[in-house]
């Protein structure tokens, strides 16, 4: 019997700018990441952006990034900047941080 091919794990630090605070963007991101089985967190930044740190399979990360480009209905996403890194496996689940 052949071993299933494993998808490489990746990490990403993602900065989302535009109208992304006060529009349920963190909850939207938390729901999407949790549904995809990713780990990490989402937080608002003082400069008005949202920061997402997530780890998981490349395929699932790509799905999350696609969702971040649209965001929840009240959001107006102007830019999504992704910085890839080697996963640290320090997260057990996905959380909203203040």
H helix or E strand, kind and range, residue 33: helix 25-36
44 is catalytic: yes
Task: Return the SS3 of 11.
Answer: strand
Catalytic residue among 44, 81, 83, 97: 44
Tokens of 62: 């790509």
Cβ atoms of residues 41 and 96 within 8 Å: yes
Cβ atoms of residues 26 and 72 within 8 Å: no
Catalytic residues: 26, 44
């Amino acid at each position: 019997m052949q071993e299933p091919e494993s998808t490489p794990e990746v990490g990403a630090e993602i900065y989302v700018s535009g109208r992304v605070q006060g529009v349920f963007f963190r909850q939207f991101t938390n729901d999407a990441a949790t549904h995809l089985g990713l780990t990490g967190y989402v937080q608002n930044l003082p400069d008005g952006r949202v920061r997402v740190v997530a780890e998981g399979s490349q395929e699932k990360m790509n799905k999350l990034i696609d969702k971040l480009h649209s965001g929840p209905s009240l959001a107006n996403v102007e830019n999504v900047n992704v910085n890839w890194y080697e996963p640290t496996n320090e997260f057990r689940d996905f959380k909203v941080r203040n």
